[in-house]
C-alpha cells in the first residue's frame, strides 16, 4: 500500500504519517520526488487500516499496490533511479561502462587491464576474486588477495570497482573492498545472499539468472531492496535458449520491459551474453540504442592467456575503438558517454 501526500504537504504532516505507520508495526519507505511525496507501507494486514492513514492531514489518497514489485516497481517511485558511486552515476542520462577481466589473475594483469580500460573510456573496473566456475577443478579466483589488488587498481586509476560475492559469509569482506557488489546469474535466486547484500550500504549489480522471467528478476531485486538497500543495478547477461551458436541469447527486450515496470537502471553484459569477442561490439552498440544504462564488458590484456573467459574477452584496443564507435549513437539517443 502507498500513502500519497498532497502537493505541498508539510514535513510535519509527512512525519506524522511515518510515525503512525511505525506505531502500527509496519515498515515505512519514504520517497520524496520533485512533485510528489509518497510513502510505501510494508507489512501484513495493512489494508484493513487503510482509513487510519487516509484521514491524516496532508494525505491525498491511500492506494493498494497490486503489482508484486513494491520497491522495485514504478507505483511507489515514478522517477528513474540514479545510483551514485561518488562521481560515477548509473542511470538517468548516463551511459556507464564497467570493463575488465573476467578474473583477477595477478597484480600485473589487473593493473595493466585497469589502465587499459580507463584509457578506453570505462568508469568502473570489473574483476572477479570469487569465481563461480562450472567445474570445481577450474581456477576459482584469488579471493581476498585479489580483492586487495582490486583496491590497489582503484587507488592507481581512480576507477570504481565491481566484483562478485558468492557466499553470505563473504559479504562483509567483499564490501570492505568493492564499490559495487555483484550478484552473479547463478545466485540471482539465492535468497539468503540477496538478503545479506540488502543489509549493506554498498550498491548491488544484480545479474539476471539464465532462465529467469522478468518477474523473477525484479523480485530478486525486491529481496535486496526489502533489506533497506535500494541501490540496485540490474544486468541482462543473456538467457539460455535453443541457440547454440552463442553462449547465451541476449534478451534486449528486457530493457524496455524493465523501463515500463521499474525505476531501476539496467545494463547489458554482451560478453557473457554472446561468449564470443567478435559479437560483443554489435551487441554493445545495440544495448546503447535500445536504451540500456550501460555495459559490463570483459577486457583482458592478453585474452589468449586468460584463465577464464578468454574467447569472449576484448583486446584493449578493440574495447577502445568500440567506445569511440558508440559516441555518435550516444549522442543520437541523448546519453552521456
Ligand atoms: C561474471 O560476470 O564474471 C560472471 C560470472 O557472470 P554471470 O554471473 O553473468 O555468469
Ligand atoms: Mn566471465
Local structure of residue 227 (DSSP, 8 states): T
Q: What is the mean pLDDT of residues 20-38?
A: 88
Q: Are residue 59 and residue 90 in the same domain, yes or no? A: no
| For ligand 1, atom 8: residue with the closest CA | 184
CATH code: domain of residue 210: 3.20.20.70
Q: What is the mean pLDDT of residues 71-80?
A: 88
CA of 298 to the centre of ligand 2 (A): 7
Give the Cα separation of 157 and 68 in Å (integer): 41
Phi, psi of 280 (to 5 degrees): -65, -50
Give per-residue pLDDT as tens, 261-313: 999 999 999 999 999 999 999 999 999 999 999 999 999 999 999 999 999 99
pLDDT at 182: 98
Instruction: Ligand 1: list residues with CB < 6 Å.
Output: 102, 128, 132, 164, 184-186, 207, 237, 272
Proximal ligand: closest to the CA of 208:
1
Residue 66's pLDDT band (boundaries 50, 70, 90)? confident
Q: Which of 84, 92, 62, 60 is nearest to 75 (CA)?
A: 62
| For ligand 1, atom 9: residue with the closest CA | 185
Give the Cα separation of 250 and 237 in Å (integer): 6
Q: Are residue 98 and residue 201 in the same domain, yes or no? A: yes
pLDDT at 63: 87
How many Cα atoms within 13 Å fall on the side-chain side of residue 111? 8
**In angstroms, what is the C-alpha Rg of the chain?**
21
In a domain, 78, yes or no: no
Q: Which of 31, 63, 95 is the last residue of a domain?
A: 63
In a domain, 158, yes or no: yes
In a domain, 237, yes or no: yes
For residue 67, is pLDDT > 80?
no
Cell digits for 140? 576459482
CATH code: domain of residue 28: 3.30.70.1140
How many structural domains is the chain composed of?
Answer: 2
Domain that holds residue 201: 83-332
Supply the mean pLDDT for the chain: 95
Q: Which of 55, 337, 257 is nearest to 234 (CA)?
A: 257
CA of 256 to the centre of ligand 1 (A): 22
Q: Is 5 helix (H, G, I), strand (E, B) or coil?
A: strand
Give the Cα separation of 227 and 213 in Å (integer): 22
pLDDT at 200: 98
pLDDT at 140: 95
| In the block, residue with C-alpha cell 580500460 | 117
Give per-residue pLDDT as tens, 159-173: 999 999 999 999 999
Give per-residue pLDDT as tens, 79-128: 999 999 999 999 999 999 999 999 999 999 999 999 999 999 999 999 99
The DSSP line for 182-236 is EE-GGGTT-HHHHHHHHTSSS-EEEEPPTT--HHHHHHHHHHHHHTT---EEEEE
CA of 72 to the centre of ligand 1 (A): 22
| For ligand 1, atom 6: residue with the closest CA | 184
Q: Are residue 237 and residue 295 in the same domain, yes or no? A: yes
Higher pLDDT, 289 or 32: 289
Q: Are residue 27 and residue 109 in the same domain, yes or no? A: no
pLDDT at 252: 98
Look at strands 88-90 and 27-32 and give their pairing.
unpaired
Amino acid at each position: 500500500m502507498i500513502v500519497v501526500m498532497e502537493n505541498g504537504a508539510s514535513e510535519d504532516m509527512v512525519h506524522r504519517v511515518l510515525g503512525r505507520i511505525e506505531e502500527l508495526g509496519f515498515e515505512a519507505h519514504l520517497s520524496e520526488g520533485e512533485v510528489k511525496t509518497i510513502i510505501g507501507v510494508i507489512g501484513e494486514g495493512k489494508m484493513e487500516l487503510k482509513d487510519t492513514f487516509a484521514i491524516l492531514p496532508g494525505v491525498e489518497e491511500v492506494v493498494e499496490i497490486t503489482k508484486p514489485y513494491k520497491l522495485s516497481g514504478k507505483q511507489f517511485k515514478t522517477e528513474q533511479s540514479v545510483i551514485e558511486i561518488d562521481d560515477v552515476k548509473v542511470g538517468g542520462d548516463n551511459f556507464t561502462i564497467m570493463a575488465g577481466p573476467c578474473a583477477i589473475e595477478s597484480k600485473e594483469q589487473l593493473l595493466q587491464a585497469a589502465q587499459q580500460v580507463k584509457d578506453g573510456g570505462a568508469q568502473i573496473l570489473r574483476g572477479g576474486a570469487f569465481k563461480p566456475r562450472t567445474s570445481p577443478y577450474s581456477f576459482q579466483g584469488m579471493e581476498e588477495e585479489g580483492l586487495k589488488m582490486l583496491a590497489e587498481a582503484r587507488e592507481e586509476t581512480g576507477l570504481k570497482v565491481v566484483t562478485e560475492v558468492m557466499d553470505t559469509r563473504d559479504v562483509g569482506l567483499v564490501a570492505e573492498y568493492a564499490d559495487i557488489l555483484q550478484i552473479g546469474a547463478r545466485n540471482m535466486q539465492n535468497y539468503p545472499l540477496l538478503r545479506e547484500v540488502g543489509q549493506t550500504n554498498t550498491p548491488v549489480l544484480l545479474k539476471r539468472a539464465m532462465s529467469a522471467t522478468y518477474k523473477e528478476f525484479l523480485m530478486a531485486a525486491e529481496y535486496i531492496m526489502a533489506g533497506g538497500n535500494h541501490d540496485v543495478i540490474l544486468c541482462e547477461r543473456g538467457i539460455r535458449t535453443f541457440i547454440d551458436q552463442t553462449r547465451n541469447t541476449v534478451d534486449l527486450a528486457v530493457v524496455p520491459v524493465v523501463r515500463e515496470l521499474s525505476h531501476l537502471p539496467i545494463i547489458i553484459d554482451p560478453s557473457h551474453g554472446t561468449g564470443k569477442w567478435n559479437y560483443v561490439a554489435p551487441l554493445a552498440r545495440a544495448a546503447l540504442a535500445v536504451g540500456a544504462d550501460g555495459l559490463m564488458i570483459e577486457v583482458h590484456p592478453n585474452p589468449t592467456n586468460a584463465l577464464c573467459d578468454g574467447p569472449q574477452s576484448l583486446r584493449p584496443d578493440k574495447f577502445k575503438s568500440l567506445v569511440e564507435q558508440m559516441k555518435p549513437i550516444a549522442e543520437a539517443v541523448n546519453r552521456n558517454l
